[in-house]
Amino acid sequence: MNTATAPTWQEVNSRYLAAALAWLKIRLERHARQQPGGSTEVAAPSVPAPPPATGTEPAHWWQRRSSSAVAPETPATQAPPPLPAPSSDDVLARAAAEYAAAAAQTNPAPILMRLSALLELSQFEREILLLCTAMELDPDIAGLCELAQGHTGHAYPTFALALALFDDAAWDALSPQNSLRYWRLIEIHQSRSQPLSVSPIRADERIVQFIQGMDYLDDRLAMLVSAVPAADDGDLPPSYVVQVDTIVHRLQQAAPAGMVPLVQLAGYDSASKAFIAALVARRLGVHLYRLPAEAIPADARELETLQRLWQRESVMLPLALYVDAPRAETGPRTPAELGRLLSAIGGISFVDAAEPVPLAARDSFVVDVDKPDTDEQEALWNAVLGPVLGQNGSPPPAIAAQLASQFKLGVEDIRRIAKTVAVDDAAGGAAPAERLWDACLEVTRPRLDQLAQRLTPKAGWDDLVLPAAESSLLHQIAGQVDSRSQVYRSWGFAERMSRGLGISALFAGESGTGKTMAAEVIASELRLNLYRIDLSAVVSKYIGETEKNLRRLFDAAEDGGAILFFDEADALFGKRSEVKDSHDRYANIEINYLLQRMEAYRGLAILATNLKSALDQAFLRRLRFIVTFPFPAYAERKSMWEKVFPPRAPTSGLDFDALAQLNLTGGNIHSIALNAAFAAARAGTPVTQALVLDASRTELKKLGRTVNELEFRRQGKLGAA
C-alpha cells in the first residue's frame, strides 16, 4: 500500500527554485570559462537536491525591512571561489530539462512562473529576475557573477551579464515602461560615472520573498493601510444582500476583460459602507485593506510609487483596497486628487465618498449605501436578541420594534450591542430592555458630541411651572414622539406625509421662562439624549457654510433620534424674510434648509426664541407646535419659590408669599436660590429670608432693573444693606 503524501506547494516551489538555481549556476560557469583565464581543473558539479520545505505557514506581514536597499558589495579580502570543471553538454542539458520539467509539471505553477505570467514578463525578463533573485538565495552566485564578467569588483548581476548569458536578449528589458522596472521588480544602483549596462541590479526584497513563498503585504504599504476584519454574513438585511450580489456580479463580469471598475460607495454612513465592502471581499475571497485619505502622499513621485506597489500587490495576492475619502469640506484631498489616485490604482477597489469622485481614466459604478431601514432593523434585533432575551429563541416583540423605531443603527452596531447586553445579563443588574436602550443611546452619542452640547436632563414634570394650556402642549409633544412609530408605521400615516415625519416645535418666551427646562423634561420623559445647539455659532457669513454645518449636525443626530434644542433662533430667523438684496435671499435659503431638515428629521427638533414677533408667519406655519412661555404670574412665582430649594437644603423663615412679589422669571429665581445657598454655606447658617433678599437685590442689579428699597422696608423683609 502506497502511503506517500503529495508534496505541499512549498515543497514544489522549493524543488523548482533548486532546479532553476542549478541551471543558472551551470550557465554562469560555462560563460565564465569563455573569459580570459577561466579555470578548467575542478570536477563537474551535480544538480543539487531540492532544499527542504520551509513549512506550511507563509511568512507574515510583520517581516519588516531592516535597512534600505544598497548596492551589493564583495569584501576586498575575499577571493572569488575557483570554477568547477568544464560542464559537459549533457550536464547542462540535464539541468535545463529538470528546470523546465519542474515548471511544466506542477499545479499550481511555481511562483516565479505565475508571477511572470501575471506581469507579462518575457523569457529574457524572467531570467533576469531569476539571476537577481539567485543573488539573494545562493552565496555562490556573487563569485560566479564576478568570474563570468571577467574581472573583480563586479560580484553582482548586471544587465551586460544578462545580455551575454541568456538567449533572446533584448535591450528594452530595462526600459522604465517595461515590466521589470514598471512593477519595481528590480532596483538599479547606478552611480554618476557608471554606465547603465554595468550598474548593479538587484531584485526587490518583497519580490525575492514572494518567489520563495512568503505571503505578506509589502512593508511600505503596511505602514499606510490597515486590514479590515472579515464581515459576518449571517442574518443580513435583504437590501444588503441585493447590494452585495449586485457589486459581486459587476466585478465578476468585468474580471475577464482585465479592467475592474471602481466601486463608489456613496452616502454618509461610513460604517455601513465599510461593512458592505467587507462582505463583497469575503464573497470574492480577497483581503480588504483600508487606506485613509490623509495617508495618501502629496508628493507626485511618492504617489506613483504607492500606485505601482499596490497594483503589484493586488496582482500577486488576493487583495482589495478601501479608500476613506472624507467630505470635500473637511478632507485633506480634493476630489480631483482622489480621482487621479483611484484612476491609476487598479485591482478591486472601493471608495467611501459622500458624493461620487470624478475619474478620468477608469470605469466606475455608484452604489448608494445607508443603514438598514426600520423593518430590517427590527428583524435584525429579533434575530440577535433571541438568544439573549427570548424564551424559546424569541425575544419580547415590543423591544425590537421600540429599538428599531427610535434608533438608526448599522448591522455591526446591533450585533455588538446584543453581545454586550448578553455579557451584562450574565452578571445581573438592570433589566435587559433598559440596558439595551442605554447602550443604543451611548453608541449614537460620539458624532453628535463633537458638534453640540449634550445636556443631562434632571427636571421632571413636577418641576415645571407653566399655565395649564402650555403644559398640555408639552405633554402632546412628548406623546407624539413616543407614539410616532404606531401612527406612522402601524397605522400608515407615513405614506401620506409629503413633508416628512419630523416633529418640530417653537418655544417662545423671554430668557429664564423655562424653555430649556421644558426640553429637559421631555427628554427625561422619553429617555432620549438632549443636545443644545447655539444657532448663532452655526450661522456663517460665508455662503453655503451654514447649510454644511446644519447638514453635519442633522446627519449625526439621525442615528439616535436625539432631541435637538436650537437656542438663539433669532440669529437665523431674525433676519429679514423680505428679499431686498442677495444677503436676504441667502438668509431665506438657510432658513428653508433648516426647516426642511427639521421636517425630515426622525426625532424632535425645537427652536427657542426670545422674539417670536421677529419670525415670519410663513416660517411659523411649517412648525407643528408653538409653545409660548409667558412671564410667570404671582401664583407661578410662588410655586417656583416653593420648589427651588432641595429637601436637604437647610432653610429658616422663608416667606414665599413675599418673595413671589418680586417680578422674576424661573431662571432668575433659580439663580437667586443658588447664590443665597452659597452665602449661607459661607456664613454657616441656614438659608434665611435676609440672605435670599440680598441675593435678589444682586440679581435685579445684574438685570439692570431698579431695586425698590422702600418696598423691601415696607414689607419689613429687607436684608442687610
Which CATH number characterizes residue 612's domain?
3.40.50.300
- Compute the distance between CA of residue 363 and CA of residue 654 in angstroms, rounded to an integer: 79
Residue 230 is classified by DSSP as: P
Same structural domain for residues 603 and 464? yes
570 neighbors 609 (Cβ within 8 angstroms): yes
Instruction: Name the band, by pLDDT with cuts 50, 70 and 90, for residue 326.
Output: low
283 neighbors 272 (Cβ within 8 angstroms): no
Q: How far does Cα 69 stand from its chain's mean position?
A: 34
Nearest 5°: phi and psi at 605? -120, 130
Least confident span in 74-78, 189-193, 264-268, 675-679 = 74-78
- Compute the distance between CA of residue 266 and CA of residue 357 in angstroms, rounded to an integer: 9
Assigned domain for 108 exists: yes
Instruction: Name the band, by pLDDT with cuts 50, 70 and 90, for residue 66.
Output: very low
Same structural domain for residues 642 and 595? no
Same structural domain for residues 411 and 461? no
Residues 6+ apart with CB under 8 A from 395: 381, 382, 385, 386, 388, 389
Picking from 628, 649, 668, the residue at the C-terminal end of a domain is 628
Least confident span in 271-285, 302-316, 391-405 = 391-405
Alpha carbon dihedral 250, 256, 257, 259, in 10-degree steps, equals 60
For CA atoms 527, 529, 534, 538, the dihedral sign is: negative
In this prediction, residue 3 carries a pLDDT of 58
Total domains present in the chain? 5
Report for 129-133, 421-425, 599-603: range of highest mean pLDDT: 129-133
Assigned domain for 592 exists: yes
pLDDT tens readout for residues 165-185: 998 888 899 888 999 999 999
261 neighbors 254 (Cβ within 8 angstroms): yes
Same structural domain for residues 619 and 706? no
In this prediction, residue 613 carries a pLDDT of 79
Mean per-residue pLDDT, 355-367:
83
Domain span including residue 298? 221-368
Same structural domain for residues 246 and 339? yes
In this prediction, residue 393 carries a pLDDT of 53
In this prediction, residue 52 carries a pLDDT of 40
- Compute the distance between CA of residue 159 and CA of residue 198 in angstroms, rounded to an integer: 6
- Compute the distance between CA of residue 417 and CA of residue 437 in angstroms, rounded to an integer: 10
Picking from 215, 240, 274, the residue at the C-terminal end of a domain is 215
b/e sequence 287-326, b meaning 16+ C-beta within 10 Å: ebbbbbbeebeeeeeebeebbbbbbbbbebeebbbbbbbb
Assigned domain for 24 exists: yes
Share of the chain above pLDDT 90, in %: 49
For residue 377, is pLDDT > 90? yes
Nearest 5°: phi and psi at 107? -145, 115
For residue 619, is pLDDT > 60? yes
In this prediction, residue 422 carries a pLDDT of 76
Residue that wins the pLDDT comparison between 14 and 528? 528
Mean per-residue pLDDT, 460-469:
93
Same structural domain for residues 149 and 163? yes
- Compute the distance between CA of residue 241 and CA of residue 235 in angstroms, rounded to an integer: 10
Same structural domain for residues 96 and 209? yes
In this prediction, residue 150 carries a pLDDT of 84
- Compute the distance between CA of residue 648 and CA of residue 686 in angstroms, rounded to an integer: 11
In this prediction, residue 605 carries a pLDDT of 96
In this prediction, residue 572 carries a pLDDT of 77
In this prediction, residue 508 carries a pLDDT of 93
Residue that wins the pLDDT comparison between 7 and 30? 30
Least confident span in 51-55, 117-121, 271-275, 322-326 = 51-55
SS3 per-residue string spanning 424-481:
HHHHCCCCHHHHHHHHHHHHCCHHHHCCCEEECCCCCHHHCCCCHHHHHHHHHHHHHH
Closest CA to 369 of 381, 352, 382: 352
pLDDT tens readout for residues 466-513: 999 999 999 999 999 999 988 988 898 888 876 778 899 999 999 999
- Compute the distance between CA of residue 185 and CA of residue 24 in angstroms, rounded to an integer: 19
Q: Strands 604-609, 563-567: parallel, antiparallel or unpaired by DSSP?
A: parallel
Q: How far does Cα 538 stand from its chain's mean position?
A: 25
Assigned domain for 4 exists: no
Assigned domain for 2 exists: no
Closest CA to 515 of 468, 566, 573: 566
Share of the chain above pLDDT 70, in %: 83
At what angle are helices 411-427 and 432-443 packed, to 10 degrees? 140
Same structural domain for residues 599 and 656? no
Assigned domain for 704 exists: yes
b/e sequence 35-71, b meaning 16+ C-beta within 10 Å: eeebeeeeeeeebeebeebbeeeeeeeeeeeeeeeee
In this prediction, residue 42 carries a pLDDT of 34
Q: Is 22 exposed, middle or buried (0-12, 13-18, 19+ CB in 10 A)?
A: buried
For residue 637, is pLDDT > 80? yes
Task: Give the CATH number, domain containing residue 642.
Answer: 1.10.8.60
489 neighbors 405 (Cβ within 8 angstroms): yes
Least confident span in 55-69, 193-207, 323-337, 380-394 = 55-69
Q: How far does Cα 397 stand from its chain's mean position?
A: 33
In this prediction, residue 48 carries a pLDDT of 41
Mean per-residue pLDDT, 524-529:
96
Instruction: Name the band, by pLDDT with cuts 50, 70 and 90, for residue 71.
Output: very low
Picking from 368, 387, 420, the residue at the C-terminal end of a domain is 368
Same structural domain for residues 35 and 175? yes
Same structural domain for residues 518 and 463? yes
> Taking CA 408 as the corner, what is the angle to CA 402 and CA 412, rounded to the nearest 5 degrees?
105
For residue 39, is pLDDT > 90? no
Residues 6+ apart with CB under 8 A from 355: 266, 328, 335
Same structural domain for residues 50 and 100? yes
Assigned domain for 719 exists: no
Instruction: Look up the pTM and report it.
Output: 0.80
- Compute the distance between CA of residue 25 and CA of residue 138 in angstroms, rounded to an integer: 10
Residue that wins the pLDDT comparison between 72 and 293? 293
Residue that wins the pLDDT comparison between 713 and 371? 371
Closest CA to 408 of 522, 271, 287: 271
Same structural domain for residues 129 and 211? yes
Assigned domain for 63 exists: no
